Amino acid sequence: MKLYLLGLLILASTSQVITAKPLVIAHRGASGYLPEHTLQSVALAYAQGADFIEQDLVVTKDSKIIVLHDIHLETVTNVEQVFPSRKRPDGRYYALDFTLAELKTLNVHERQDAQGKQVFPNRYQGKGTFQVATFEEQIELIQQLNRQLNKTTGFYPEIKSPAWHREQGVDISQLVMAVLRKHQLDDADKAIYVQCFDFAETQRLRNDLEVKVKLIQLIGENDWQESPTDYDFLKTPLGLEAIAKIAQGIGPWIPQLIDLKTMQPSALVEQAHLAGLQVHPYTFRKDALPDNINQKQTLNMLFNDLQVDGLFTDFTDTVVDYLAK
C-alpha cells in the first residue's frame, strides 16, 4: 500500500510535465505525402493539424542551419547529378561541404536507398520542384501561419550528429541556439522542444550552454552507432532519472515500447512517467506496419494502453483523425 501511495504522489507531483492531450508531431513535415523537410511538406503538415512540426538540423559550409535528416545529401537530393565531383573519399556528399547558395540549386526528392530506389514506393511520385529549406525559413513560415490563423503550432528541432560536427570544427549546438535566441524561442514556455540523440550534448545544452528551452532525449539502439551514448543505460530507471535532471521527456523508438510481433509492452513508458518525463515515440508510418497489426490497433496500443504523451508520424492527418474520435 505504501508503495502504491508513493507512486500516486510521484505521478501527482509530475503532472505538470505529463501532457494531458497527446501531441501530434509531424515527422519531417507531412513526409507521408511530400518530400521530407521541404516548405511544402511543412505547410501540408500545418494544414493537417499538427501540434508540432519537426526540423532535423545540419550545418552548411557557410555556417547556415538547414533542415535535412542526414549529414549526407544523396539520399534526398540530386546532388550527384549537379555536383558529381564533390563527394568525399567515402563516396558520400556532405551538406557541410556546400554553401547554402549551392544547396539551393538542388532538387529535393523522395528518400532513396543505396540503389536509387524510392524507400516508400507509394509516396509522392511527381516531378515537382522542391528545395532544401533553412531553419529560419521554416520558423518564419510557421510563425506567419500562426499569426494569420491564430494558432500555436510549435517547433521540434533535432540537433543532428553534434559529435561529428565538432570533429569537423563546427559547434552545431551553438549555431542552433543562436537562431532560436534570435527568434525568442529559447524559452521553456514557448511551443518548442529541442531533441538530440547524444546524451552528452543534451547535458551540455542544459548545463554549459544554459538553454531554457524544453529538451527531449532521443533513445536509439546501441548498434545504430547514432552517437556515443549508451542507450541501454538510458532505458533503465537510473538512466531515466539522469535524463529527468536536464530534460522534459524522452523520444524512444516504438519497438522499445512494445514488441510488435508478440504485442507485449515494455515498462519504459511507465518508468519514464514515474521519473516525471513525457514520452514522444517515433515513428508511426501507416505504410510500414508489420503484417500482423493495422493502424488502428497500433494507435490504440500507443495512446490507450501505453498512454504516450505524443507521437511522431509521417501521416499527421491519420493521427489527428484518430484522436478526434
Distance from C-alpha of 42 to C-alpha of 35, rounded to nearest angstrom: 10
Distance from C-alpha of 154 to C-alpha of 186, rounded to nearest angstrom: 13
Out of 37, 69, 109, 280, pick the active-site residue.
Answer: 69
Q: What's the rounded mean pLDDT across residues 152-167?
A: 98
pLDDT, position 213: 98
Q: Which three cell numbers stand for residue 237?
A: 530507471
pLDDT, position 263: 85
Among the listed residues 249, 247, 218, the one whose alpha carbon sits nearest the alpha carbon of residue 56: 218
270-324 per-position pLDDT tens digit: 999 999 999 999 999 999 998 889 999 999 999 999 999 999 999 999 999 999 9
**pLDDT over 80 at 10, yes or no:** no
- What is the crossing angle of helices 199-207 and 237-244, to 10°? 30
Structural domain spans, the chain: 14-71+132-324
**pLDDT over 50 at 8, yes or no:** no
Establish whether 165 is a catalytic residue. no
Q: Which contiguous run of DSSP H or E holds residue 157?
A: strand 154-159
pLDDT, position 49: 98
Model pTM? 0.93
**pLDDT over 80 at 9, yes or no:** no
**pLDDT over 60 at 16, yes or no:** no
35-94 per-position pLDDT tens digit: 999 999 999 999 999 999 999 999 999 999 999 999 999 999 999 999 999 999 999 999
Q: What percent of the chain has pLDDT over 90?
A: 91
Phi and psi at residue 311, in whole multiples of 5°?
A: -150, 130
31 touches 54 (CB < 8 A): no
Establish whether 69 is a catalytic residue. yes
* CATH T-level fold of 14-71+132-324: TIM Barrel (3.20.20)
Q: Which three cell numbers stand for residue 62?
A: 557557410
pLDDT, position 14: 42
**pLDDT band for position 18 (cuts 50, 70, 90):** very low
Out of 27, 109, 165, 280, pick the active-site residue.
Answer: 27
Among the listed residues 209, 203, 204, 165, the one whose alpha carbon sits nearest the alpha carbon of residue 186: 209
Q: What's the rounded mean pLDDT across residues 207-228?
A: 97
Is pLDDT larger for residue 152 or for residue 259?
152
pLDDT, position 143: 98
Q: Which three cell numbers stand for residue 49?
A: 493539424
